[in-house]
Amino acid sequence: MKTATRTGTETEARRATRPRADALRNRERIVAAAREMFVEYGPEAPLDEIARRASIGNATLYRHFPDRSALLVEVVRSVLSRAADTAERVDAEEPDAFVALCRFVHEAADERIGALCPLLSGAFDAQRADLDAERVRLVGTIEEMMARARQAGRLRPDVGHGDLMMALSQLSRPLPGTGCTDTDRYTHRHLQLFLDGLEAPARSALPGRSATLEDLRRATP
């Protein structure tokens, strides 16, 4: 009898600590709205407006994220995680590694990965272990795709993952302001021009060197 009672109590305790489905949906809506607001207006976007765009009350937003820093961290972690998931998925789906690389770049642009740069400006600790784990997972998968593409003779040998991530970040990052979404229609066009330049054989020698993972930790996603 005591065992049954204890088991029932443990089950209730687990239920009490497990986030409710509606709470999870609210959190996802907040992060999605914050990502778009940060892209449009930068990391100082009004939290009240983020709550309005997420169709939740201010109290709900602060219940999930007590301050701006906590929300910034979660937006960065979410975008990095989704980009890493995308990289792993296209790498598994595409037998042609160069095609996989191109698919990743275009899909990552739609995830607003370029919005990470202004967020990684010192408003919080960008070297947090959870953020760095997602960054390492993303870069590792990109390196695997690039290695396969080089081996197949599709990718020029003098480019690295840093070149890819720097270009993706720059070309997919609209300028903050109300008119920034007007540039979205050019993003994939310019990214494809960049990707065409990655194909072997190379038509010119690249100056300098590719950014390293440590460079990306300091400056880019």
To 10 degrees, what angle do helices 184-196 and 161-171 make?
160
The pTM of this model reads 0.75
Three-point CA angle 18, 24, 25, nearest 5°: 150
4-8: long-range pairs with CB below 8 Å, 24+ = none
> What are the pLDDT tens digits along the chain (221 aa)?
545 555 555 555 555 455 578 889 999 999 999 988 887 787 889 999 999 999 999 999 999 999 998 999 899 889 889 999 999 999 999 999 999 999 999 999 888 776 665 565 545 555 678 888 988 999 999 999 999 999 999 999 999 998 998 888 888 776 555 455 556 678 888 889 989 999 998 878 888 888 776 766 665 44
The CA distance from 30 to 25, in Å, is 9
140: amino acid identity, one letter: G
Question: Is there a contact between 45 and 38 (Cβ–Cβ < 8 Å)?
Answer: yes
| 64 and 30 Cβ atoms separated by less than 8 Å | yes
Contacts of 115 (CB under 8 A, 6+ apart): 35, 38, 39, 75, 79, 173
* pLDDT number for residue 23: 85
Positive or negative, the Cα torsion across 42, 44, 50, 53?
Answer: negative
User: 31 in helix, strand or coil?
Assistant: helix
DSSP structure string for 38-64: HHHH-TT--HHHHHHHTTS-HHHHHHH
